[in-house]
Amino acid sequence: MNNSNEYTQTQPILQEPWVKLANGSDLENWSRQDEIAYNQTNRQCQKLAFFMQAFDFLTDNKIEGDYHEYGCHRVRTFRMALTEARRHNLESMKFFAFDSFEGLPAVESQPSHQVWQQGALKTAQEEFWHLIKEHGIYVDSCQTIAGFYKERLTPELQQSFLAKNNKIALACIDCDLYESAVPVFEFIEPLLQEGSLLYIDDLFTGYKGSPVKGVAKAFAEFQQKSRFKFAPHIQVGWWGRSFITYLDD
């Protein structure tokens, strides 16, 4: 389940079923709260395992550039990126947090998640900064870009990144909806370089896992237009995957 060495089993279990399984008495009082904590712990462990590998990949392949996150909410993945960047001593990396800080926009694409309503998943900018400062890693290298993507990700903003030659090393796209992902892909295209990693969190989320709906649909459309190709890289849980950006020339 997890490819982090922290979870690698080193002591054999000497009887069937050969893995440690909770039994009826362990789960006698198992509640909905336990279920939520169990899922969250499993999911965040798998995301952290991804970030460990992603930064190792970037460093080993000498991919320089910045971290972009589209969808920051509780700052879980953003803090993972900061921690792993620090572990690789990436002193010159910049960390851009793109979010409305007002939650989801008006929802247009009929997702299967009832909770994905306008305003859901809101974390205000003050709370974002509180969590970043409390975390205490590369705080001065972090920048928020607040607003809904459709209006905020303008050609002028794109141009300001290009003018400073700010390329993407790793982009984490975690904005749930088809209509949110479309402008994100358009925005990042000129900022990508050979070796940029794209982590797409919601490939199989929110539209009954359909590969032709939601963020997966936005990514498929983007691949038709982009000058780059994208090699499937690391599978992250049941929901996401990273891709390596490359040129086929």
Ligand X SMILES: C[S@@+](CC[C@H](N)C(=O)[O-])C[C@H]1O[C@@H](n2cnc3c(N)ncnc32)[C@H](O)[C@@H]1O
> Site residues (CB under 6 A) for ligand X?
71-77, 99-100, 103-105, 121, 123, 148-149, 174-177, 180
Q: By Cβ distance, which residue is nearest to ligand X?
A: 71
Q: Residue 104 CB, nearest distance to ligand X (Å)?
A: 5
Check: CB of residue 99 under 8 Å from CB of residue 73: yes
Q: Residue 63 CB, nearest distance to ligand X (Å)?
A: 21
Judged by beta carbon, residue 80 or residue 244, the one nearer ligand X is 80
Cα–Cα nearest to 50, from 173, 196, 199: 199
Judged by beta carbon, residue 52 or residue 121, the one nearer ligand X is 121
Buried b (16+ CB within 10 A) or exposed e, 236-249: bbebbbbbbbeeee
Judged by beta carbon, residue 76 or residue 86, the one nearer ligand X is 76
Check: CB of residue 119 under 8 Å from CB of residue 102: yes
Judged by beta carbon, residue 74 or residue 133, the one nearer ligand X is 74
Q: Residue 71 CB, nearest distance to ligand X (Å)?
A: 3
* DSSP per-residue letters across 98-126: EE-SS------S--S-TT--TTTT---HH
Q: What is the DSSP letter of 25?
A: T
Q: Residue 226 CB, nearest distance to ligand X (Å)?
A: 20
Q: Are strands 168-173 and 66-70 parallel, antiparallel or unpaired?
A: parallel
